[in-house]
Amino acid sequence: MCFFRFRLLSFRTNVRACSAGWRVALFSGAFAFTVAGCSRDPLASGTTTASPANRPQVLTFDLRGEIVGVRADQRRLLVHHEEIPNYMPAMTMEFVIGEADIGSFKEGQRIAAKMIDDQAAPDFRLESIRILDSTKESIIAAAARELQEDTFVRGQGAYREIGEVAPRFALYNQDGEVVRFEQLRGRRIVLNFIFTRCPVATMCPAATARMVALQKLAHARKIPDFQLLSISLDPAYDTPPILKAYATARGIDTADFSFLSGPEEAVRRLLTQFGVIAERGDNIWKHTLATLLIDRDGRIIHRVDGPTWEPEEFLKRL
C-alpha cells in the first residue's frame, strides 16, 4: 500500500484568510486527488476560534461522509465527504482523529463529525465523530422523545426522589451499541455522570476511580447481576469512540461497566430527573456529582451527592 500527501503553504492577507491545500493519496490502489480551495466566507457555514492577530485561525465545520480507508498506525481516516457549503466541494481527504479510539472505525461506515481546520497545523482534524446508523438512531430518537414528554409532564416534580422508579432512556455505549434502561431490569445499577475532559482531579477522575474500585471489589466477592453506568454530560464531544478510548486508557472492564452518550437533549433531561446540575463554561463543564443505586425493579434506593463516597458503601447494598 502506498500512501503519501503534501499540502501547499497557506497564504493570508490582513483582510481575509484564504488557504489553499492540495493532497495526493494512493489508497488501496485507488488514486484520489483532492483540492481544498479558498474559502469565500468561512463563517457562512462554520465557526472560527477568535485569536490574536499574530495567531492563525481555527475553523470548525460540520462534516458528513463515508470512511474509505483507515490508517490505524497513524491514527488517520480517509473520508469521502459531502460538500461543505461555501468552503469546500465534496472530495476525498485524509484526517487525523485526535483522542478517539481508532479501532472503532471501519471502511464503509458513514460518519458525522466536526472538521477542524487549524491553520497552524499541517493536517485537518476530526472531532466529535459519530458513526451513523439509521436503525439505532431511530431507537435513540424515540426514547429521547419519550423522555422529553415525561420530563414535561412531571414539570417541577421532574426530580426523582429515592423510592421512585428511575426514568427510562436509551443511549449509546462505548462500543456504539444501544443500551436501553429496560434491558437492565433484573440487575442492580450504580449510575453517575462524568465527562472525559474533566480537568479537576477530585471530580470526574475521582468518580471514575471509585467506580473502578467498586467494580473490582464486586468481582472479587463474586457479586452477580450488577451494572455500572457513567453517562457523559458532554455528549457532543464524548461520542462512543471517545468513551471507548477513555475506558481503554484506564484498563476498564466494560463487561459490566458501560460509558454512555447520546442526544444532548436526552442527557439534559436525565440530568434534570436525576438532580445533577451541569452548566457549560469556557472549555469546561461546571457541574455537581451524584452517584445512585437502582434496584432490580428500576427503583432508586440509594444516593450520594459529591465525589467522596466510599465503594464499600455501595458494595454492601449490591
pLDDT digits (tens, 9 = 90+) for 92-109: 999 999 899 999 999 999
In contact, 294 and 301? CB cutoff 8 Å? yes
Are 146 and 289 in a shared domain? Answer: yes
Tell me whether residue 81 is in a domain: yes
Task: Kindly tell me if the per-residue pLDDT of 47 is higher than 70.
Answer: no
Domain assignment present for residue 5? The answer is no
Residues 93 and 169 in one domain: no
pLDDT tens, residue by residue, 163-194? 999 999 999 999 999 999 999 999 999 999 99
pTM given for the model: 0.84
Q: What is the pLDDT of residue 308?
A: 85
Final residue before a domain boundary, out of 74, 98, 131: 131
Read off the CATH number of the domain in which 118 is found: 2.40.50.320
pLDDT at 41 exceeding the cut of 70: no
Q: Does 18 share its domain with 166? A: no
pLDDT over 60 (residue 236) = yes
More confident of the two residues 254 and 280: 254
Q: Are 41 and 98 part of one and the same domain?
A: yes
191-204: pLDDT as tens digits: 999 999 999 999 99
Spatial distance between the Cα atoms of 76 and 106, rounded to a whole number of angstroms: 11
In this structure, are 236 and 282 located in the same domain? yes
Tell me whether residue 114 is in a domain. yes
Alpha carbon distance 250, 246 (integer Å): 7
Residue 1 lies in a domain: no
108 conformational bin, left if phi > 0, alpha if psi -120 to 50, beta if neither = left
17 and 143 share one domain? no
Does the residue 36 lie in any domain? yes
- What is the tally of structural domains in the chain? 2
The C-alpha atoms of residue 82 and residue 307 are separated, in whole angstroms, by: 44
112 and 205 part of one domain: no
Tell whether 157 and 119 lie within a shared domain: no
Q: Which residue has the cell 416534580?
A: 157
Among candidate residues 100, 131, 162, the one where a domain is terminated: 131
**Sorting pLDDT into bands at 50, 70 and 90, what band is 223?**
very high
pLDDT confidence of residue 285: 82
Residue 224 resides in a domain: yes
Boundary residue ending a domain (131, 147, 177):
131
* Residues 191, 291: Cα–Cα separation, whole Å: 6
**Residue 206 lies in domain:** 138-315
Task: Please indicate, yes or no, whether residues 61 and 158 belong to a single structural domain of this protein.
Answer: no
Residue 142 and residue 271 in one domain:
yes
In terms of domains, do 117 and 220 share one? no
Q: Is residue 104 part of a domain?
A: yes
Q: Are residues 108 and 149 in the same domain?
A: no
